[in-house]
Structure 1
Amino acid sequence: MSVENQRVISALVEGILGVEAARGALDALDVDPALMAERGPHVSRAAFAMAMNIALFHDLLERVPSGAAYVADRLARGGKVVFDHGALRTVRMPEGPTGELPPGEEAFTRILTPLGYHMAAVYPLDRLRMTGRAYRHADLPEAIPQFFLSELHVDRFDPQFAEAAARAFGTSRDPLTADAKAVLGKYADGDAVSLAEAAAALPVIVAAFDRQHQPVSIGDYELLLSRSHEAAWIATEGNAFNHATDRVADVAALAERLKADDWPMKDRLEISRTGRVRQTAFRADTVERLFAGNELRRVPGSFYEFISRDIDPETGRLDLAFDTGNATGIFAMTSARDEGSA
């Protein structure tokens, strides 16, 4: 098939995941037909953003067995996943960059903004000493997954915590190559990006959603954990998707069914102040991670989330907002204490 006739998203996802895994990911997700119909030789920012999200969703399922099992169950019941949003956590040091990475969320706004995302709202997470921000796609806001991008503010903790954070996160490398940055620059300037350029840049950009720092010491991990479960989570998992979220029609009914079937459900439904956004989640899967000194421990990994969104009567469109209370409750899914040596 010529480049001109290739379906862009399918080609990009196959290029990064391989044909079989790409087929599985595309079959699992309910992707907007207009996006799936786009053909080469160029790749729009919307198509690139969707392909990136599909790859990140696949990565989340590879790391979260409970999420993969749920998706398989949903498919077996004749359904598909509507990928609502992904969440990731960053660290903002008191000043300067985070190792070689730009500070805090800037490590990812440099990716999201050129691809058509804009900041939709700010959510103070004061109890967690963090700030969350929602990034929504300008072209197809209901069809392309949002990002809930949070920063942990090191300057809101004590000096001992700050020293441990500097040791833990100061080794971060910048995974973006000059070529990948050039492609993002083209998108930022509104220039055409060829399928070949997009296919080469996508794996590099997806690799940014991972841990970029060296394994931390047990001592620093335990110190971070004593002050912030979120900081400890970032110490082992980095900037990987903290969770991916399935948009469902009735999250309350789904939660009751999943609880009855002994899925690892959160105890309580989170309901926004408007009542229009309702969320719950599986508890984080436990993962084995290597620490400095080649010590293995089992720690909380990522998780799978569910959300229902109602129509906002003021706009007549789907309410795409988040809620500070909901977010704080959902973040607790990774708050389990370190489970000891493996």
Structure 2
Amino acid sequence: MSNENMGSMETLVVATLGATAGRRTMAMLAIDPLLLAERGETVSRAAFAMALNVALFHDLLGRVPSGAAYVADTVARGGTILFDHGALRSIRFAEGATGALPGGEDAFTRIFLPLGYEMAAIYPLDRLKMTGRAYRHIDLPEAIPQFFLSELHVDRFDAEFGAAAHRIFDSSRDPLDDCARAVLARYAAREAVQIGEAIAALPVILSAFDRQHKPPAFDDYQLLLSRSNEAAWIATEGNGFNHATDRVPDVATLADRLKAEDRPMKERLEISASGRVRQTAFRADSVERLFADGELRRVPGSFYEFISRDVDPETGRLDLAFDTGNATGIFAMTSALAGASR
């Protein structure tokens, strides 16, 4: 396909991922025709947000072989993936920033809000000493993936944990450059963003969804792990996508089929208090990560999730909410009770 025939979103994706990977990833996903149809010299916030999500989905599949195998099987069966939401984790100290990064969710609200997202709900995850927040796109809430952004509250742990957390996360850098900040500022001001500016900014903004701190000391990792699987996960994986989620018509039937295929499934479904939101997931794939002592060790990586959503009878619209109990259960997919192994 020539550049003249490409829509704005495809242009961004191809410029970021390359023609082959970009078009292959887009073909995996059920993308709203309105987003595909946009053309012109400028790029809307919705098209930019969707291009970012396509690139994040591609990155997640590259790190999660179980998810990549499921997606390949789905495509081979003639299906596509309806990308419901992605999840990421952050660190919140009682005061100040996280190294050079803004503290906790602030590192990402500076991206989400200019791109047209708004906070839809807060989900206290008290058992995990975390808070989750859902960010939903204003323009196309059912078509553009949501973000489930959680932050871990270091001050809810003991002083020894806090000291280890500072030793790990104080080395965080801020990946956003002046170009990316300028594009986000223009979107925030509802000003036009030229296609060339958007192409330059997207890879930089994409790089924010990664680990920004130096490899942790193994002793510090183990200390965090002894109190919080989630903190230990952030120590090795940083702000990378924790999981990406496929919205499917009947997650229970799908889960039964995947278990029968001996896929690495969660044992039981998570069902929201309303009964309208049902979730399950693959267990996290393990990955090799470098520690400060120069040793590579295997730790839990990211995973792939499935969700079914029913219509809310009060609104007549799809129930896009999350559920504290569901989220807490899904978070267990990255548990590492046995610690890292070589």
Determine helix, strand or coil for the equivalent of 1:265.
Answer: coil
1:339: how far off? 5.1
Partner of 2:103: 103
Report the Cα distance in structure 2 between the residues aligned to 1:164 and 1:336, rounded to whole angstroms: 18
* Residues paired across the two proteins, number: 342
Code of the aligned partner of 1:63: R
Query: 1:94, CA displacement in angstroms?
Result: 1.4
1:191 matched to 2:207? no
Name the amino acid aligned to 1:93.
F
Between the aligned residues of both structures, percent identity stands at 73
Correspondence 1:3-22 to 2 at 5 A = 6-22=6-22
Q: Give the corresponding residue for 1:155.
A: 155
In structure 1, the gaps of 5 or more residues are none
Question: Do the aligned partners of residues 26 and 3 (structure 1) sit closer, same or farther apart at CA in structure 2, a change above 3 Å counting?
Answer: closer
Q: Which residue of 1 aligns with 2:312?
A: 312
Residue 341 of structure 1 deviates from its aligned partner by 3.6
SS in 2 for 1:58: helix
Other structure's SS at 2:235 match: helix
1:269 is the counterpart of 2:273: no
State the one-letter code of the partner of 1:333.
M
Deviation at 1:2, TM superposition (A): 9.1
Residue number in structure 2 paired with 1:297? 297
Question: What is the alpha-carbon distance in structure 2 between the residues aligned to residue 181 and residue 71 of structure 1?
Answer: 34
Task: Give 1:88 shift.
Answer: 0.1
Amino acid at match of 1:282: F
Task: State how 1:220-231 maps to structure 2 within 5 Å.
Answer: 220-231=220-231
Letter in 2 for 1:324: T
Question: Does the CA-based 8 Å contact 1:215-1:236 persist in structure 2?
Answer: yes
How far off is 1:336 after superposition?
Answer: 2.6
User: Per the alignment, in what secondary structure is the counterpart of residue 119 of structure 2?
Assistant: strand
For 1:3 and 1:11, locate their aligned partners in 2 and report how far apart those are by CA, in whole Å.
7
Counterpart for residue 23 of structure 2: 23
- Give the conservation status (yes or no) of the 8 Å contact 1:6–1:40: no
Aligned counterpart, 2:43: 43
* Deviation string, structure 1 residues 237-279 (Cα, Å, up to 9, x no partner): 0000000000000000000000001000000100000000000
Q: Note the 1:142-291 alignment, pairs <5 A.
A: 142-291=142-291
- Which residue identity lines up with residue 182 of structure 1 in the other structure? A
Tell me what 2:332 maps to. 332
In the aligned structure 2, how far is the partner of 1:231 from the partner of 1:3? Answer: 44
Could you tell me which amino acid in structure 2 is paired with residue 162 of structure 1? G
Q: Secondary structure at the match of 2:42?
A: coil
> What are the Cα deviations for residues 206-245 of structure 1, in whole angstroms up to 9, with x where unaligned?
0000000000000000000000000000000000000000
TM-score (norm 2): 0.98
Give TM-score, length-normalised by structure 1: 0.98
Shifted more, 78-87 versus 3-12: the winner is 3-12
Counterparts of 2:293 and 2:137 in 1: how far apart (Å)? 42
User: In the aligned structure 1, how far is the partner of 2:204 from the partner of 2:338?
Assistant: 31
Structure 1 CA distance for aligned equivalents of residues 262 and 268 of structure 2: 15
- CA drift of 1:23 comes to 1.3
CA contact (8 A) 1:255 1:265 kept: yes
Contact 2:10 2:36 in 1 (8 A): yes
Partner of 1:64 in structure 2?
Answer: 64
Q: Distance in 2 between matches of 1:295 and 1:336?
A: 18
- Offset from partner CA, 1:30-65 (integer Å, 9 cap, x none): 000110110121000000000000000000000000
**Which stretch of the first structure deviates more once superposed, 34-43 or 242-251?**
34-43
Is this contact kept in 2: 1:85–1:148, CA < 8 A?
yes
Q: Which amino acid aligns with 1:114?
A: P
Which consecutive residues of structure 2, in runs of 5 or more, have no partner in the other structure?
A: none
Counterpart of 1:225, as a letter, is L
Structure 1 ranges of 4+ moved more than 4 A: 1-5
CA distance in 2, matches of 1:58, 1:296: 24
- Give, as a single letter, the amino acid of the residue that structure 1 aligns with 2:208: A
SS state at 1:81 partner: coil
Q: SS in structure 2 opposite 1:87?
A: strand
Q: 2:222, 2:339 within 8 Å by CA — same for their partners in 1? A: no
